[in-house]
Amino acid sequence: MLPITSSLQIGELAAGQALTLPIYHFKPSDDKATGPKVYIQANVHGAEVQGNAVIYQLMKQLEHCDIRGEITLVPLANPLGINQKSGEFTLGRFDPITGANWNREYLNHAIDLPTWYSEHAKLSDNELIQAYRSTLVEACQQKLRHEWGITTGHRLAVNLQIMAHGADIVLDLHTGPKSCKHLYCPEYDLAAAQFLSIPYTLVIPNTFGGAMDEAAFCPWWQLSDFAKAQGRDLAVAVSALTLELASQERVCLEDALVDAQGILAYLSHRGVIAETVAPAKMQRFGCYLKDYKKYHAPSSGLVEYLAPVGEPLTAGQPLVNLLRMDLYGTADELKTVSLPQDCVPILHFASASVHQGTELYKVMTHVFELPTT
C-alpha cells in the first residue's frame, strides 16, 4: 500500500512563494484501526539529513505491512534550514534572523492544571485524554493566530507541533555533529529503548527545554502526575523520543535500513503494525541527563579528536590533542587533554579549529546497562 501524499503550508518567503512541507500518511482501513497514531519527522536542523533516509527506508517497509494505526511522516521538516548553505556546508541549526535553535521554538503550554482538571475530572480516562489533546491543539492554533504575529521559527515549529499533538507516538529524527547513535527517552518510558537499534540512551526528566520530544510528552507527564496527586491512576498517554542517527551531512541508506527496522520493531510492539518484528539483539546502555557532561576547550587551537565516539573511555586516557602553531618551540605547542572520570564519548564538535571555550565533546558518565524484557 502506497502512502497518501499531501502538503502543508507553514509560511511564505520574502518574494511571496509558499513554504510547504511534503507529508506522507499510512492509514488503516476502518475495521483495522486499532493501533495508536504515530507522528515521525526529520531534518528540523538543516545538516541533519540521515533521518530522511530512515523515513524513506521505513516507508518502503510500511508499504508491505498490515497497518493498524495511522502513521504520519514528515521528512524535510524545515525547508528554510535545509536550504541555508554557506559554500559547501549546510548550516540550518539556527534561525538566521533571530539566532534561535530551530528545535527550541515549540510552544510550552504551561496549562493551569488545577483549574483544567477540576473542570474535566468527571470524564472517563478516554474522554479526558481527548479533551486534553483538544486543549493542546487549540493552544497551538491560538499561537498561530496571535494578534501581534509570531516569528518564522515559531510558525514552523507550532505547525509541526499541531501534527505531533494528534499522535500517541512521536519520533523526532536528528543527528549530531560527529556522533554515535543515541536516544533521548523520558524516564517514564525507558522500556521503549529496548526496541530501537540504538546503543546509548539519555534518560530525560519531566522538564521542558523547548525541543519537540519535550513539547509532546511534558504536558502528558504533567497531567499524569497531577491526576495521581488527586488519587487517579492515569498513565502518560503519549510516548515521545528523539533519535540521534549518527553524524550530520551524511546519508547512508544501508544504515538507514537498520534504524528503520528498529522503528518497525517498536511500532510492532505498540500494535501500530500487525506484523511481529523482533528488535535487534544488542547491548544497550543509558545515563541520566544530569550525568551527560560537556567538555569545553581549555584553550584555543587545532584539535585532533582522539577518543572515538560510542566507545568507553577510561579516566586519564587521551581525549584530544590541542596544537598551537603560534606557540611552536615552547612547552605549550602541543597538549594532550584527558578527562578525570570514566565516560562514553557520544559526540564531538565538527571543526578541527576551535576558540577557547568551544564545546569539544559530550560524554555520558555513570553509564549503566539497560534491562531487557
* Sheet containing 182-186: order of strands: 4-12, 18-26, 71-74, 38-42, 169-176, 239-247, 182-186, 200-204, 285-288, 368-369
Radius of gyration of the chain (CA): 22
Which residue's entry shows cell 584539535? 303
CB neighbour list of residue 300: distance below 8 Å, 6 or more residues apart = 324, 354, 355, 356
Q: How far apart are CA 170 and CA 69, in angstroms?
A: 13
User: Which amino acid would we find at residue 191?
Assistant: A
Q: Is the CATH code 2.40.50.100 the one for domain 292-368?
A: yes
Fold agreement (4-282, 292-368): no
* Beta strands at 178-179 and 344-348: parallel, antiparallel or unpaired: antiparallel
For residue 244, give the C-alpha cell: 540521534
Which CATH number applies to 4-282? 3.40.630.10
Sketch the domain layout of the chain as residue ranges. Answer: 4-282, 292-368
Question: How does pLDDT run along the chain (373 residues), one tens digit per residue?
Answer: 899 999 999 999 999 999 999 999 999 998 889 999 999 999 999 999 999 999 999 999 999 999 999 999 999 999 999 999 999 999 999 999 999 999 999 999 989 999 999 999 999 999 999 999 999 999 999 999 999 999 999 999 999 999 999 999 999 999 999 999 999 999 999 999 999 999 999 999 999 999 999 999 999 999 999 999 999 999 999 999 999 999 999 999 999 999 999 999 999 999 999 999 999 999 999 999 999 999 999 999 999 999 999 999 999 999 999 999 999 999 999 999 999 999 999 999 999 999 999 999 999 999 999 988 6
Burial (CB count within 10 angstroms: exposed 0-12, middle 13-18, buried 19+), residue 211: buried
How distant, in Å, are the alpha carbons of 38, 50, 170, 176, 193 from that of 181? 22, 11, 18, 8, 12
Q: What is the pLDDT of residues 42-69, one digit of tens each?
A: 999 999 999 999 999 999 999 999 999 9
